[in-house]
Amino acid sequence: MPATAYVSTTIPYVNARPHLGHAFEYVQADSISRHLTMTGREVYFLTGSDENSLKNVLAAEKAGMTTQALVDRNVSYFEELLASLGVVTTAFIRTSIDPHHLAGAAEVWRRLDANDDIYAKDYAGLYCVGCEQFYEPSDLVDGKCPEHLVEPELVSERNYFFRLSRYGDQLAEAIESGRLQVHPHTRLNETLSFIRSGLADISISRSATRARGWGIPVPGDPSQVMYVWIDALTNYINTFDWIQDDPGYHRYWADAERRIHVLGKGVLRFHAVYWPAMLLAAKLPLPTDVMVHGYITNAGQKLSKSLGNAVDPEELVAAFGQDAVRYYLLAELSPFGDGDFAEERLVARYNNDLANGIGNLASRLTSMVERYRGGTVPARGEAGDLEVELESRTADAVRDSVAAMDRFDHREALARIGELVRRSNAYVGERAPWHLAKAADAGDEDAARTLDAVLYCGIDVVRRIAILLRPFIPAGSGRLLGAVGEDPAASLDSLTELAGRKVVKAGPIFPRIEL
């Protein structure tokens, strides 16, 4: 059986429509999932919706709806975005209604409680509803939440606490040994620094009264509900019926080659400290990789529903298409740092790299196969120095782009593919098949054989580039493969003889965008 891997995104609050930051995380995780599949793994890919938050309750009250009605409506916006972006997941988990999640969250609580890792105490702290998080005064910027730029409210109540302080040494060992890898290295250092500074126990419940009765009740104490983050973090294993020893849990979590979480830098502590500590306490396997991306900014400010500067990704897809939006996010933006959104850059990236780059290459070559060889790819013939060099460049691009994606660096992977596209277009110009065809028509047999080698080599490179592009622009990749007569599901390891294939001279595979 093939090796297995697990990929997840964070699950967003559904108090409003999704913004471009959600789209970025979705396509990042989708590209990782597709890359792992392309390189021989069987992947379980999970996303979902975080529904048990006070933010959702307050949004429902403002809209004059029940909380359940609001989340039911808003979840559909996120599911529609996934579809419009071409993101294909194995499962979509909803934390307010999924029976495995409700049972699994309660079971994790019971395991922590049985291990004497939970206790109750009175507590007062500064709470940001937008983050659903308590802050220390030293964490604030000018007295305001650093994420939402609002003053947190002082909350005083009796809560349950998790003995996070017990797990500092174990967490540090897991990270330093590489058992739990945090990417990039700067985030690893940040995590270790936070752990080594001394971990304080954390509040893991809220009063049912303040939560308006919305949330998962604390086992044995209906006056409290689980803190939304503690409930939500358990979703990553609750997609499986792990309590009943679900075989899927073993295949895709406990025994998986890699267990990868994709998340934004603002929730690093939750995923690299709090959640792994809970897993250690519950005696469950840790994730293997925590991949941390930055924020998409607009004029230097984080995109946020709360800040009112969100960019609607559905509108972008409607205006420019799935390929353009996915390619821009993955080719232009850093996988690990912040990046500023600019519509002009989206259009420029698409036109330069896709329309004028690989699209032009495929169009030129399929047109020449049709014109000079009746639409059938000729036998390879004897390769010259330029063909040998292009094949070597292709092998390098395959190796380097795959290695970059193994490091979660989608921008670097696409840069290496882009270099191959530019070299391939230059190769066609250097070989000038139109001159070779004229000479062949005049009876030059050497020119005819060279023309065959050029057309074969060029079409072969296009199909390999198309496969390399599959994790990033699956729809465009499929069109490219169809144009050169290749199976849309082909892999680099399963390519068969190209000679005799019929190519398709269709319209532009990546039509230019005109603003």
Residue 302: active-site member:
yes
Q: Which of 35, 55, 100, 145 is catalytic?
A: 145
Q: Looking at 100, 128, 271, 457, which residue is catalytic?
A: 128
Q: In whole numbers, what is the pLDDT of the chain averaged over residues?
A: 94
Given a cut of 90, is residue 382 above it in pLDDT?
no
pLDDT of residue 307: 67
**Catalytic choice (100, 101, 293, 305):** 305
**Sole residue written with tokens 């739990």:** 180
Give the angle subtended at the CA of 203 by the CAs of 274 and 293, to the nearest 5°.
Answer: 35
CB-facing half-sphere around the CA of 307: CA atoms within 13 A: 18
Structural domains of the chain, with CATH: 4-329 (3.40.50.620), 344-483 (1.10.730.10)
Assigned token pair, 467: 């496969």
Global pTM value:
0.93
In tens, the pLDDT along 96-143 reads 999 999 999 999 999 999 999 999 998 877 877 767 677 778 778 888
Per residue in 43-80, pLDDT tens?
A: 999 999 999 998 999 999 999 999 999 999 999 999 99
Verify whether residue 145 is a known catalytic residue.
yes
Which of 420, 335, 419, 287 has its CA nearest to residue 6?
287
245-274 average pLDDT score: 97
For the residues 208-227, what does the mean pLDDT come to?
94
Active site residue 55: no
> pLDDT tens-digit profile of 86-95?
999 999 999 9
In this structure, what token pair is assigned to residue 196? Answer: 């080594």
Task: Decide which of 245 and 123 is more confident.
Answer: 245
DSSP state of 352: I
Set 55, 100, 183, 302: catalytic member = 302
Q: Which of 55, 131, 261, 293 is catalytic?
A: 131
Residue 305 is predicted with a pLDDT of 60
pLDDT 10s digits, 9-38: 999 999 999 999 999 999 999 999 999 999
Q: Spot the catalytic one: 144, 148, 250, 505.
A: 148
For the question of residue 293 being annotated catalytic, the response is no
pLDDT of residue 151: 85
- Least Cα distance to 130 among 266, 295, 312 occurs for 266
**pLDDT for the residue 507:** 77
435 noted as active-site residue: no
Q: Which of the residues 22, 55, 261, 271 is marked catalytic?
A: 22
Residue 22 falls in the annotated catalytic set = yes
pLDDT at residue number 194: 97
User: How long, in residues, is the chain?
Assistant: 515
Q: CA-to-CA distance for 386 and 340, rounded, in angstroms?
A: 40
**What's the pLDDT at 362?**
97
Position 251 pLDDT exceeds 90: yes
131 is catalytic: yes
The confidence score (pLDDT) of residue 146 equals 79
d(CA 134, CA 126): 5
* Angle between helices 433-441 and 445-469 in degrees, nearest 10: 150
